[in-house]
């Protein structure tokens, strides 16, 4: 394949990163026992395991991390995670027929998991730019605007955590970060990505983790690091091992999103953290 058609194919595949969407009926003033809030990083396993009870635009899965966490703890879950969600969609409707994710919270809520912020930081747009610039052999992957976009979510993220505590005052709040996406130097499965740009992409996800972890710690929430457990399981790892889909996604058809193994792996990191810190009665 010549460089130009190859780059065009990469662009088409990566547009799935920017595509998307949100949540369902209110559980009442008392709230659900366990509420999962977040975007596609928590919601979807792509074309696999559709949750038919969820709004179609949310692409929510029956085998996502919140479902696995709920099963592991024996909790009743109201999963409000939704593809393309931004922090503002926690408190407002993400689209017609989709309730604000916060509607599930209440006095009876014991656990809240939060995985959101990547869409606010424009991660998909910047990752696509890295692949396109590498595929066409022109331009640069990352600039100061990417760092600014990531740092810019800190205030709204902190406000969201404060709102969660106000709406669900008894709840334990768990914030999980982003796993390892790209190893040093990249690999052929990350089509069009120059080796030097692999480091830029991973550095951006690491920076996003730092921003979110800082907000969680300042608020008194529990931050769960998923990067360490995902070493060797990035998008360059073999099928069945990797937690992250590469550009040509083979399991879920959604590039740069968690595979089913990734959803299970993240759940396996979150569960001990919850058990160690305990849940309110």
For the chain, the residue count is 281
| Catalytic residue selected from 25, 26, 40, 53 | 40
What is the rounded distance in angstroms from the CA atom of residue 4 to the CA atom of residue 226? 36
Average pLDDT over residues 257-263: 98
Reduced to 3 states (helix: H, G, I; strand: E, B; else coil), residue 264 is: helix
More confident residue, 132 or 41: 41
pLDDT, tens digit, for every residue of 43-83? 999 999 999 999 999 999 999 999 999 999 999 999 999 99
96 C-beta neighbours (distance < 10 Å), count: 7
Task: Show the domains of the chain with their CATH numbers.
Answer: 3-277 (3.40.50.1110)
155 is catalytic: no
Which two tokens mark 229? 């457990």
The conformational region for residue 127 under phi > 0 = left, psi -120 to 50 = alpha, else beta, is alpha
From the centroid of its chain, how far is CA 241?
19
The pTM of the full predicted model, rounded to 2 decimals, is 0.89
Reduced to 3 states (helix: H, G, I; strand: E, B; else coil), residue 176 is: strand
- Map tokens 């959803």 to a residue: 263
257 is catalytic: yes
pLDDT, tens digit, for every residue of 133-155? 876 666 678 778 999 999 999 99
CA atoms within 13 A of residue 240's CA, in its CB half-sphere: 0
| Catalytic residue selected from 115, 126, 219, 257 | 257
């Amino acid at each position: 394949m010549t460089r130009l058609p190859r780059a065009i194919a990469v662009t088409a595949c990566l547009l799935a990163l920017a595509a998307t969407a949100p949540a369902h009926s209110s559980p009442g003033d008392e709230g659900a026992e366990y509420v999962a809030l977040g975007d596609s990083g928590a919601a979807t396993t792509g074309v696999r395991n559709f949750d038919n009870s969820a709004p179609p635009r949310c692409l929510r899965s029956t085998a996502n991390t919140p479902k696995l966490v709920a099963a592991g703890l024996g909790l009743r879950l109201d999963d409000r995670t939704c593809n393309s969600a931004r922090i503002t969609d926690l408190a407002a409707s993400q689209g017609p027929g989709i309730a604000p994710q916060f509607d599930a919270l209440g006095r009876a809520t014991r656990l809240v998991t939060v995985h959101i912020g990547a869409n606010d930081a424009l991660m998909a747009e910047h990752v696509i730019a890295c692949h396109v610039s590498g595929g066409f052999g022109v331009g640069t992957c990352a600039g100061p605007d990417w760092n600014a976009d990531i740092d810019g979510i800190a205030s709204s993220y902190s406000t969201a955590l404060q709102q969660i505590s106000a709406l669900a005052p008894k709840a334990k709040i768990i914030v999980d970060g982003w796993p390892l996406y790209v190893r040093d130097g990249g690999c052929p499965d990350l089509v069009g990505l120059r080796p030097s740009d692999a480091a830029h992409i991973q550095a951006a996800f690491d920076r996003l983790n730092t921003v979110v972890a800082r907000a969680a710690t300042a608020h008194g929430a529990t931050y769960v690091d998923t990067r360490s457990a995902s070493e060797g399981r990035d998008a360059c790892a073999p099928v069945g091992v990797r937690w992250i889909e590469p550009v040509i996604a083979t399991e879920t058809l959604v590039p740069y999103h968690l595979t089913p193994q990734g959803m299970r792996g993240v759940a396996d990191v979150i569960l001990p953290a919850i058990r160690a810190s305990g849940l309110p009665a």
